[in-house]
Structure 1
């Protein structure tokens, strides 16, 4: 999938100490990309907007797992 033009931002829940960080690009129509900040070339998860919104809602409701 073409990620040209993706504008990545770090999760607001990611710390500034270089720990577990996630970046999200949700500026392209019809797709949301997610990647690991520490391993940007290690792969990207791709979600549809509705699936991503559902995931975010669940995380806000139940908190992170781990």
Structure 2
């Protein structure tokens, strides 16, 4: 994972912020919708990607 750097980190944080904003837009009528569920799945995926990048960058750096 040599392509993990601060710029990539900022991209991931930006994606998390964007998806968080989409979650904040939910209201009482749609907070349990499949669209919100999809956003949740995307957040999990992005979080896992961040963990993977950090873990693999440590392997070469430690």
TM range (shorter): 0.3 to 0.5
TM-score (normalised: structure 1)? 0.33
Per chain length, whose mean CA-contact separation is higher, i.e. which structure has more relative contact order (CA < 8 Å, sep 6+)? 2
Q: Which has the larger radius of gyration?
A: 2
Structure with bigger strand share is 1
